[in-house]
Structures are given as structure tokens and as C-alpha cells.
Structure 1
Amino acid sequence: MLQTDFIEINGLSYHIQHNIIDDNLPTIVFLHDSLGSVKLWRDFPENLGNITNCNVLMYDREGHGNSSPFSITERPVNYLELGADVISQLINKLNLKKVILFGHSDGATIALHYAAKYPENILATIVEGVHVFVEEETLQGIREAKQALETTNLIERVSKYHDDKTEMLFKMWMETWLNPNYRNWNIEKNIQNIQSPVLIFQGENDEFGTMKQVEKIKANVKSKVIDYLISDCGHNPHKEQKEFTLEKTNQFIRAYAL
């Protein structure tokens, strides 16, 4: 049964949902995507927690879901690395000692940053739709989302998850990635410090990235890396190919983190 709490970090309120069944068991920490939230994970975290017999923790990042609105009006280039620092504070406040990260898109990049900067309590790192450098495919996907924002009811559909924070959330996402100053963003050197095993899911039809992201990770991470290119799948393997993602994640966790 998931419990809801709010934790203060750096003067901001962070909404979390968790099911800590045993302090001695690993906790899978879920890190959502650029427009994501706790609610948008749906039942995937609970399903994964049940089949792995692990604790589960989700949270809304600043400006998302039920957490505090953005305290800034423009993101720095290293905003994803700063997100890993927030995760570190959250994990420390909750006194989690055995952590498995499961990150999607922006959350996947934050997971890699965390695994590289704070390796001491990471058992495994799982990512889907991850980015470690800027691809033209990513930018084109964001341009298309921007057009949809202007021509459809996308704002209305997303606002049920973020309320009055929605417009700023879109602004932060689009203006950051489409800013020319962001074009050279690259974390290949950062991830060389990762020590935990890494599992990667990449949708063959991902509208925001390609297998080049996976190849860069495999070229730079020195620990065990397992990857799956999933056919008939876009940017959201945990939704579009849920059973496959659950099965392979369960196998990975049991082999490398339990």
C-alpha cells in the first residue's frame, strides 16, 4: 500500500509516494521524465516492487506534480546533474542504504548522474529513453511537441497532473533543450565513474532518441551493461511494452542487486 508524504529539501516541498515493507530490502527509486510525475508512473512501480520483493519510492521533481513550483525561471545547462544532488539529499533524509534507480528520459539521465557521483549505496541502475548527449532526433521530437502544444489541447491533457505548473513546465523543457547553448551538452565523461551494473531499455521507434545514446553509454561505463532494443516501442517502454520491461527488469535485479 503506497503512502504519501512531503519532504522539504532546500526550502522546497517534494511530494513522495512509497511502500517501505522492510528496511533491510533494497528500495527501487523511480525518476520520472521531463513532463512526468508520480501519477504518470501508474501501477508500474507497485508491479515491479511486488515481483522483486523490493521497497518502492517515487517522487515529483521541483515544478512537477504535487511538489513545489519552480523556484527559478531558467534552467542551467547542468540541471540534470543538480537533480542528482536533490536525489542524494532525499535518499539521505529517508536513510536508504540499498538503492536501485529506475529512471525514464530526464529521470534516466539523473539516475546516471547519481550513480556516477554517489556510488556508495547504489546496487543497480536501470534507464529507459536515456540521453547522454544532444541528438537532432531529440530536438526534432521537442519541436513537434511544441507544435502540438500550439495546435492541440496538450496543455489541458497534461495539466491534470501538474495543475497551474503546467505552462512553466513546458517552457522549462522546451526552452532548455532548444537553446543553442545546450547543443553541446554531453555527460559521457561523467558516466565513466559509474560502478553499479546498468540496464538500458531503448524503444526502436523512440521519437526522442536513438541507439547512439546506448552505444555511448556502453563505450564509457566500465561496469556491467545490459541493453535491449525493443521493437514496436517508442519513448515509454514501461508503458508501451510493460510486461517485457517488468520481466527483464526483474531478471536483472535478481541477478545483480539481490
Structure 2
Amino acid sequence: MTGTPETHDAWIASRRGRRFATRWVPPGGEASRSPIVLLHDSLGCVALWRAFPAMLAAASGREVIAYDRLGFGCSAPYPGRLPLGFIADEAETFHELREHFGLARFVALGHSVGGAMAAEIAGRHADGCEALITVAAQASIEPRTLAGIREAEQAFQSPGAMARLAKHHGDKAEWVLRAWVDTWHSEDFADWTLDSALPRVTCPTLAIHGEHDEYGSLAQPERIAGGVAGPTKMAILPCGHVPHRECPERLIAALLPFLAGPGSA
């Protein structure tokens, strides 16, 4: 597939506030192939996927959709504190995105906590989710997860760090940082796992992880692959926590055979 995908911005109506989304439509793409929906990480947004969505759309021939969760990026502020059930909650509001874009079928691809959300969505929207892809996802909380978050929190005290976060989240930047740090370090969140969600995932699953991931060991993709009910594959990449920025070509190379393989979308 060659050519530059067209981009189209959209606003998704929600009773709690509008959410922002962008679509990448590849030239000559096959309309019959299910779109890929991207779910961002704890500090992420549409813009922080950077060039990856366009690269993925061009390489796969599929439409790619990314959206800002409520409280992030260009979407409306979150109404209050982030609840401890926020990962499972995303599957409850995902129907709004499906209705807006008319997604009868789709592939869910999530990075970091977005991968956990993608797993919840794959299970609760099994009527439409044809494949699940998790990238550097957490399935449980490890000591290195908490240590990595604390280290990142300290880095945000350096000059200009919060300004860079605000560039993407505006005046919501402080809420975004505190929602990440405080939620994951909450005693009430300490026992969180994806274990109850994974058996509901019956579609093909690809669990991707970086061998040098600073927020989770290889036990994370192993737990995902071992917990889902559908067929699974794993791919370990020579990178850290953000493959779509550290080695996007390798990430796409791992995705394409899975998307084209038997039993996948």
C-alpha cells in the first residue's frame, strides 16, 4: 500500500462531555476490512501517537481511528477524580464511538493502560471486535510498574516538563499526571488485574511487549496470552515501553502478519 492517508477529525457526543477523534483513511484501502481503533496510554492522546497511525493505515490498507479519552488531549475535562474502575469503564462508553463511526466490526489496539482497556473492550464488545492487539500493556501491577511511575513523576519536576505535557492536554495536564500517579499508587488499586476480563476475549489476540520495558516485565504479555479464551500470539520487540515511537517499523512488521493471518480480522 502506498500513498499518504487522508486525515479526518471528529467529535464524539457523550453525556459527560465531547471526545475528540481522528481517522486516517488510506488511499485505495479496502472498505471491507475492519478499522483499527487505537487506545492511548496514561499520559497519551491522539497527537502523541505521532506518525504511527498514518504509517499503520498505509501499511495495512485499513482505516485507523484514534480518540482522546475524556480528560485527555482535546477532549472535554473529566468530571471529577478518575475512578478506580476507569479501565473497565472505558468498555462501557465505547459504544458511543462505535455508534458515531458505525463500527459493526473493528480491531482494538491499545498501548500500556490502553491495552488493558482494549482487552476489556474486546470482551464486552465481542459482537464486533475481530482481533485484540495489546502493546506494552499491564495485566497486573508489578513493583517495576510503580517504580517507573514514581521515576516519571520526579522527571516532571524538571523545568519545562509540565509545559510539554500541557502542550497536548492544555489546562488538564496536572489532572492527567495526578490521575496516573495517584491512581496506580492507591492502596485500593493495588490488587487490580485483568484476570476477570481476559476469559471474555474470544477473538484472536496478539500481545506485544518490549524486552526493555521499564513499566512491566515479560510476565505481562504472558499473563495476557495465557488468560484470553481465543487463539493467541506473542511478539517481543527490542525496545522499551513505547514501541510506536522507539521502533515503529518493527511494530508494524509484527502487526501485519497477525492482521493478515487465518482467523484474524
Same fold (TM over 0.5): yes
Q: Which runs of 5+ in 2 are unaligned?
A: 1-5
Corresponding position of 1:101: 108
| Structure 1 equivalent of residue 120 of structure 2 | 113
Give the CA deviation at 1:222: 2.1
- Structure 2 counterpart of 1:76: 83
Equivalent residues, number: 256
Greater fraction of residues in helix = 1
Q: TM-score, normalised by structure 1?
A: 0.95
Match of 1:43 in 2: 51
**1:19 and 2:24 equivalent?**
yes
Q: Following superposition of structure 1 onto structure 2, how do residues 76-155 of structure 1 map, counting pairs within 5 Å?
A: 76-155=83-162
**Partners of 1:251 and 1:219 in 2: CA distance:** 21
* Structure 1 equivalent of residue 163 of structure 2: 156
Q: Are the equivalent residues in 2 in contact too, given 1:105–1:130 (CA < 8 A)?
A: yes
The 8 Å contact of residues 104 and 130 in structure 1, kept in 2 or not, is answered as: yes
2:242 to 236, 240, 251: 236
Per the TM alignment, residue 22 of structure 1 is displaced from its structure 2 partner at its CA by: 6.0
Contact (CA 8 Å) 1:102, 1:108: kept in 2 or not? yes
In 1, the alpha carbon distance for the partners of 2:9 and 2:225 equals 37
C-alpha separation between the residues in 1 aligned to 2:255 and 2:218?
A: 19
Q: How does 1:58-69 map to 2 (within 5 A)?
A: 58-69=66-77
Paired amino acid for 1:33: D
Report the Cα distance in structure 2 between the residues aligned to 1:152 and 1:126, rounded to whole angstroms: 36
Let me know the Cα RMSD of the aligned residues: 1.4
Question: What secondary structure sits across from 1:63 in the alignment?
Answer: coil
The secondary structure found in structure 2 opposite 1:12 is coil
2:41 maps to which residue? 33
Deviation digits for residues 187-208 of structure 1 (CA, Å, limit 9, x no counterpart): 2122111011111111111111
Identify unmatched segments of 5+ residues in structure 1: none
Percent identical among aligned pairs is: 29
CA deviation after TM superposition for structure 1 residue 238, in Å: 1.4
User: Quick check: 1:28–1:99 contact (8 Å CA) kept in 2?
Assistant: yes
Q: Aligned residue for 1:213?
A: 220
Name the CA distance, whole Å, in 2 between partners of 1:86 and 1:190.
16
Moved segments of 4+, more than 2 Å: 19-25, 150-153
